[in-house]
Amino acid sequence: MINTSNGMMASSSSNTAQSPGLKTYFKTPEGRYKLLYEKTHPAGLLHYTHGKTVTQVTLANLKDKPAPMPPATSLTTSAGSGVRSAAARFLGGGNGGRALSFVGGNGSSKAVSGSGRIGSLGNTGSSNSVASNYDGKGTYLIFNVGDAIFISDLNSQDRDPIKSIHFSNSNPVCHAFDPDAKDGHDLLVGLNSGDVYSLSLRQQLQDVGKKHVGGQHYNKDVVVLVLHGCLMEMSKDGAGDSSFPVIKDQTQFSVAHARNSKSNPIARWHICQGSINSIAFSTDGTYLATVGRDGYLRIFDYAKEQLVCGGKSYYGALLCCAWSMDGKYILTGGEDDLVQVWSMEDRKVVAWGEGHNSWVSGVAFDSYWSAPNSDGTGENVMYRFGSVGQDTQLLLWDLEMDEIVVPLRRGPPGGSPTFSTGSQSSHWDSVVPVGTLQPAQSMRDVPKLSPLVAHRVHTEPLSGLVFTPESVLTVCREGHIKVWMRPGFAESQSGNSESMSGTSLKEKSSLSGKVIGSAYKQ
């Protein structure tokens, strides 16, 4: 039950088992975000392998019309989709970053949440078991815990998942969903053994067993290669093994292609000497961002296979990254407890977000949020983004570049730097040349942001967050997911009214936010 006088959880219920001291809401200028329900794995799952992986969450929206699927007895699929995928397995764990991503063969990236609305959250009519005549409609949460992948119905308040897929002798560490996969294999799963599986989510839901069915399997010593900072580019059309030349200079970026176009992997990208912790494609699929143990963000032109720009963290490894919908900014987070905002126009850090008390393990732009006073002209674009960390906190940030305080340049020795406001590009002496990796910048040279919201949402360290049209999802590394309803949607749910239509990623052309110095501490 919830004590509505103070918003604190007095006792646990079947749907929202909240720890004492954690509030079931947090405040923003536009209203309260309220905890609707939680998702988690079966209680009896905990065993010795549980602590070896960090839970990641993927949102999957299955379309109304089922896609053609290969026979369940086949371990390989016929080619023809033309969809290429880039996969990198992170080592060293605990970062909460996404290390698996789709990009289309035509250069367009695939939005994880799909293009349709999420649906009316909070319905209680779904079953705990998967029916054999399952029609494939719905929105699902895919998350990994221990040696299993779990699938939960986002539109149901049931805590337990409706499906589990167990892998023998290996643990899933990352996954990604492609709603437009032509061959029906829309789910990628990466294991800590270096194996990658391409599966049909719809087919897994139709099967009552606990093993994956009808999957395509890739393996080419990915573990060894990623230890040396390599990203393997794989094709669903490929079969057989690839051989690549020995990397002569471990410090230099290089791309090697397989001699046989029908083999897998089709290319090896040697990016850095340490492990790759997270990768992310820009919305249009033009650019690929990577962050690694060496503390560098690297941004590549994916089609040209060219390093465009990048830079070093203040200190320590970078663990996560995310693009804005317009491709102008990139968020990174890591072991320096900072959220860094990188500009593609200026090719450098343009703001640092200070507010976390430990490593930042997940970052994301909220493409569904609109500024209250937005005029829709796009002349003064504003942004809202979020971050989570091992300090168990969710932080929300508002960013308006025209209001940010920009250090122009250092003054004379012993003096103070000069500042101004306005467009970032007009203040830097020159644009950084293509292919340059920037060194770590001084604290006094970068504008600082303060969080709009700082709210402790879990008792365990957090590993990721996802924004939907109706809610914000937070996930901790132990496999517990919380669904926080946006202002307005929470009231409509409690009143049993229909959910408002969500705006699709493709329709959302303007993002929003502004710099606010004071935080709403919860």
Measure the CA–CA gap between 43 and 46, rounded to whole angstroms: 7
Measure the CA–CA gap between 469 and 466, rounded to whole angstroms: 10
Amino acid residing at 339: V
Lowest mean pLDDT among 51-55, 113-117, 272-276: 113-117
Amino acid residing at 62: L
Model confidence pLDDT, tens digit, residues 406-458: 555 444 444 444 444 444 444 343 566 788 899 998 988 899 999 999 999 99
Mean pLDDT, residues 208-221 taken together: 78
Residues with Cβ within 8 Å of residue 413, at least 6 apart in sequence: none
Measure the CA–CA gap between 275 and 226, rounded to whole angstroms: 6
Determine phi and psi for 150, rounding to 5 degrees: -115, 145
Determine phi and psi for 45, rounding to 5 degrees: -75, -30
pLDDT category at 69 given cuts 50, 70, 90 is: very low
* Consecutive H or E run containing 226: helix 222-227
Q: What is the pLDDT of residue 495?
A: 53
> When comparing pLDDT for 115 and 184, which is higher?
184
Residues with Cβ within 8 Å of residue 513, at least 6 apart in sequence: 369, 371, 382, 383, 384, 385, 397, 398, 399, 400
Model confidence pLDDT, tens digit, residues 1-29: 334 334 444 333 445 455 667 999 999 99
Q: What is the pLDDT of residue 99?
A: 54
Q: What is the pLDDT of residue 326?
A: 94
Residue 504 token pair: 């699709």
Could you count the other beta carbons within 10 Å of the beta carbon of residue 314?
A: 18
Residue 489 token pair: 């949607």
* Consecutive H or E run containing 462: strand 462-467
Closest CA to 392 of 479, 335, 480, 458: 458
Closest CA to 468 of 40, 61, 186: 61
Amino acid residing at 479: G
Answer whether 292's CB lies under 8 Å from 277's CB.
yes
Residue 260 token pair: 């046989």
Q: Report the DSSP beta bridge partners of residue 241.
A: 264
> When comparing pLDDT for 112 and 249, which is higher?
249
Q: What is the pLDDT of residue 43?
A: 76
> When comparing pLDDT for 213 and 297, which is higher?
297
Answer whether 251's CB lies under 8 Å from 437's CB.
no
Q: What is the pLDDT of residue 196?
A: 86
Question: Long-range contacts made by residues 287-291, C-beta under 8 angstroms, separation at least 24?
Answer: 287/323, 287/327, 287/344, 288/86, 288/103, 289/321, 289/323, 289/330, 290/88, 290/231, 290/321, 291/97, 291/317, 291/318, 291/319, 291/320, 291/321, 291/332, 291/334
Coil, strand or helix at 188: strand
Amino acid residing at 6: N
Mean pLDDT, residues 208-215 taken together: 87
Q: What is the pLDDT of residue 214?
A: 85
Coil, strand or helix at 59: strand
Measure the CA–CA gap between 425 and 346, rounded to whole angstroms: 6
Model confidence pLDDT, tens digit, residues 380-417: 678 999 999 999 999 999 998 776 765 554 444 444 44
Residue 409 token pair: 């340049």
Answer whether 456's CB lies under 8 Å from 474's CB.
no
Q: Is 457 left (phi over 0), alpha (psi -120 to 50) or beta?
A: alpha
Mean pLDDT, residues 258-263 taken together: 75
132: pLDDT strictly greater than 60? no
Between CA 332 and CA 337, with CA 336 as vertex, the angle to 5 degrees is: 75
